[in-house]
Chain A
Amino acid sequence: EAQLVESGGTLVQPGGSLRLSCAASGFTFNYFWMHWVRQVPGKGLVWVSLVESDGTKTVYADSVKGRFTVSRDNAKNMLYLQMDSLTVDDTAVYYCARGQWGGFDVWGQGTVVTVSS
């Protein structure tokens, strides 16, 4: 069974940095595009970033472009999100998700990022 498990979420001060990780198992990781999607508690889902299967192409939402960096290690079945220059507006639950059929067919349980002084 395909599974994704995020980690790394915590409380961080505005202007700080954080690295999220997502461990994949149960599927051939290097076949799939991988994404990060976030959700402010009580609000809707927002796509954040994509990394293609071989890691050579990355795409970002305008709200995080230049501050966030997505990467993957296919040898370790790991997905990462490096988040720099964090603001209070980045406070959210961050999900990693597998891309399939134009959507996201497998999701992690989410990791909570809180940006506050």
Chain B
Amino acid sequence: DLQMTQFPSTLSASVGDRVTITCRASQTISNWLAWYQQKPGKAPKFLIFKASTLESGVPSRFSGSGSGTEFTLTISSLQPDDFATYYCQHWDSYSWTFGQGTKVEIK
């Protein structure tokens, strides 16, 4: 079975920092890779799809890249509203798999 592993699991950063979260697949996957932001007690928010396409309304400081087995979510300049948990998720042939999440904390 496909496994999606995110690292780090927790990241401490300051406002203004450039932050990168990595999502690694246990096998080569297609670019049907999405990223979500989730705040405590709230539903996830769809940020990026097809590895690098920004969902409408998502700030341009968020970007996604990658292919094969390794994908990244980058926040170019961390803002106070960005402290949250981030999840990657892959879709392939009626199977949807999430990473375990990366918590971005205030340093």
Please give the residue numbers on chain A whose beta carbons come within 8 Å of chain B beta carbons, in ascending order: 35, 44-47, 50, 59, 95, 100-110
Contact among A50, A95, A102 for B32, CB-based, below 8 A: A102
A72 to B53, CA, bound (A): 30
Complex alpha-carbon distance, A50 and B32, angstroms: 17
Residues in A with CB closer than 8 Å to B32 are: 101-103
> A50 and B94 in contact (CB under 8 A), knowing A44-B87, A44-B100, A107-B44?
yes
A44 to B49, CA, bound (A): 19
Complex alpha-carbon distance, A110 and B36, angstroms: 16
Q: Are A101 and B43 in contact (CB under 8 A)?
A: no
Q: Shortest distance in angstroms between A116's beta carbon and chain B's nearest beta carbon?
A: 21
- Contact at A102–B99, with CB atoms within 8 Å? no
Report if B91 contacts A (CB, 8 A): yes
**Interface majority SS (helix, strand, loop, mixed), chain A:** strand
Interface string of B23-58 (1 = CB under 8 A from A): 000000000111010100011111001100101000
Please tell me if B14 contacts chain A, counting CB pairs below 8 Å: no
The count of chain B contact residues (Cβ–Cβ below 8 Å) is 25
* Contact, CB under 8 Å: A103 / B43: no
A-B pairs with the 8 shortest C-beta distances?
A103-B34, A102-B91, A102-B32, A107-B43, A47-B96, A101-B49, A105-B46, A45-B98
Could you say which residues of chain A place their CB within 8 Å of the CB of B38? 45
Given contacts A104-B44, A109-B43, contact A35 B55 (CB under 8 A): no
**Beta-carbon contact of A108 and B43 below 8 Å:** yes
Once the chains bind, are A105 and B87 in contact (CB under 8 Å)?
no
The docked-state distance in angstroms from the alpha carbon of A104 to that of B101 is 16
* A114 vs B50: C-alpha distance when bound (angstroms): 35
Contact assessment for B98 and A47 in the assembled complex, using a CB-CB cutoff below 8 Å: yes
B72 CB within 8 Å of chain A: no
Q: Which residues of B contact A109 (CB under 8 A)?
A: 42-43
- CB of B97 within 8 A of chain A? yes
Q: List 23 A-B contacts (CB under 8 A).
A: A44-B101, A45-B44, A45-B98, A45-B101, A47-B97, A50-B94, A100-B46, A101-B34, A101-B53, A102-B50, A102-B91, A103-B32, A103-B34, A103-B36, A103-B46, A103-B49, A103-B89, A103-B96, A104-B34, A104-B36, A105-B46, A107-B44, A107-B45
